[in-house]
């Protein structure tokens, strides 16, 4: 019986892959990779293949979801295999399911942790980890199926009433070639406000922090009211959006330096949080 190593590639090219992971990959009998849930700027699979001296087999969503990663489990019965993904290797719940299936089959599991977008956002914005409440996925509205991501709106409301920051994980559908950008994300939030009318989002007042290619050399961070954020050109993906809660003085300083934020606007936002959200629970 072999072993499965869950390996993360982090946030940019081959920069974040760990020396522990490289060492394991060089000795692994088979290497699988999943790259349909995220985007890794400047990553070339062939470059990693040269470093580790073997081919990487790319899996589809079907391999992992409908077939529950059976191909990985079966291979691990015969040798030491690796399952590589972008960002942190276990933040996706599908990957945890695969890990548990492996353990149930008496397959040994190793984890090579890597930075996720949460680490990236802290580095890109200077926001305090202690001020982040739960993150939430913001998906595309599917009018055809009458599907609206109301959870994202409710989570934002709940977080703002506590003065806490909300990190939105934006929808990525590689197979459909659809990647939600900051403008689309803002428009989804505005549409949810139009339907729900709970005065959570106001494009002239709500401050948004848009981040593209977090921690990459051409990272882009821009902070402004949502209407301005929609007009800003962030360049290529991946993207993340944060709606901040009550900002600490050092966070205001950081957003000013790292995200070109107007301090006056941030102070007005703090006032609005105090008068319109805090304590309304």
Candidate residues 41, 69, 120, 149; the one interacting with a second copy per rule CB under 8 A: 120
Beta carbon nearer to a second copy, 118 or 182? 118
Total interface residues for a second copy by CB under 8 A: 57
Query: Min. distance of Cβ 267 from a second copy in angstroms?
Result: 18
Extract the tokens encoding 261.
């934020």
Q: Using an 8 Å Cβ cutoff, are 136 and 169 in contact? A: yes
Burial class of 176 by CB neighbour count within 10 A (0 to 12, 13 to 18, 19+) = exposed
Whole-Å CA distances, 185 to 204, 227, 250: 16, 12, 27
Spell out, one character per residue from 36 to 75, where the chain touches a second copy: x when CB under 8 A holds, - when not.
----------------------------------------
- Residue 57: how many other CB atoms lie within 10 Å: 15
Contacting range for a second copy; rule: CB under 8 A; set: 34-42, 197-205, 224-232, 246-254: 246-254
* Helix (H) or strand (E) run with residue 124 in it: helix 117-125
Q: Is there binding between residue 133 and a second copy (CB under 8 A)?
A: yes
Rg of the chain taking only CA atoms, in angstroms: 20
Q: Strand 136-138's sheet: what is its strand order?
A: 136-138, 166-170, 239-243, 207-212, 220-225
Spell out, one character per residue from 79 to 108, where the chain touches a second copy: x when CB under 8 A holds, - when not.
---------xxxx-x--xx-xx--xx----
Query: Min. distance of Cβ 136 from a second copy in angstroms?
Result: 7
What is the contact surface with a second copy in residues (CB under 8 A)? 6, 8, 10-20, 22, 88-91, 93, 96-97, 99-100, 103-104, 111-116, 118-120, 122-123, 126, 128-137, 158, 162, 164, 215, 250, 253-254, 257-258, 281
């Amino acid at each position: 019986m072999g072993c499965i190593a869950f390996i993360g590639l982090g946030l940019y090219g081959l920069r974040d892959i760990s020396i522990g992971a490289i060492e394991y990959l060089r000795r692994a009998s088979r290497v699988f990779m999943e790259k349909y849930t995220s985007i890794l700027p400047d990553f070339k699979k062939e470059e990693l293949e040269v470093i580790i001296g073997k081919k990487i087999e790319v899996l589809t969503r079907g391999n992992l979801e409908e077939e529950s990663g059976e191909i990985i489990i079966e291979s691990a019965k015969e040798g030491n295999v690796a399952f590589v993904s972008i960002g942190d290797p276990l933040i996706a719940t599908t990957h945890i399911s695969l890990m548990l299936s492996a353990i149930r089959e008496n397959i040994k599991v190793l984890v090579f942790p890597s930075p996720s977008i949460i680490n990236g956002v802290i580095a890109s914005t200077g926001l305090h980890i202690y001020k982040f409440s739960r993150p939430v996925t913001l998906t595309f509205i599917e009018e055809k199926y009458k599907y609206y991501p109301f959870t994202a709106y409710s989570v934002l409301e709940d977080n703002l009433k506590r003065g806490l920051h909300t990190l939105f994980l934006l929808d990525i559908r590689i197979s459909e070639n659809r990647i939600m950008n900051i403008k689309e994300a803002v428009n989804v939030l505005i549409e949810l406000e139009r339907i729900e009318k709970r005065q959570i989002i106001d494009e002239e007042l709500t401050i948004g922090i848009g981040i593209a290619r977090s921690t990459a050399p051409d990272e882009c961070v821009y902070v402004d009211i949502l209407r301005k954020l929609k007009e800003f050109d962030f360049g290529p993906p991946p993207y993340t959006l944060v709606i901040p809660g009550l900002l600490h003085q050092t966070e205001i300083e950081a957003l000013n330096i790292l995200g070109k934020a107007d301090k006056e606007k941030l102070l007005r936002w703090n006032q609005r949080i105090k008068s319109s959200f805090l304590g309304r629970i």
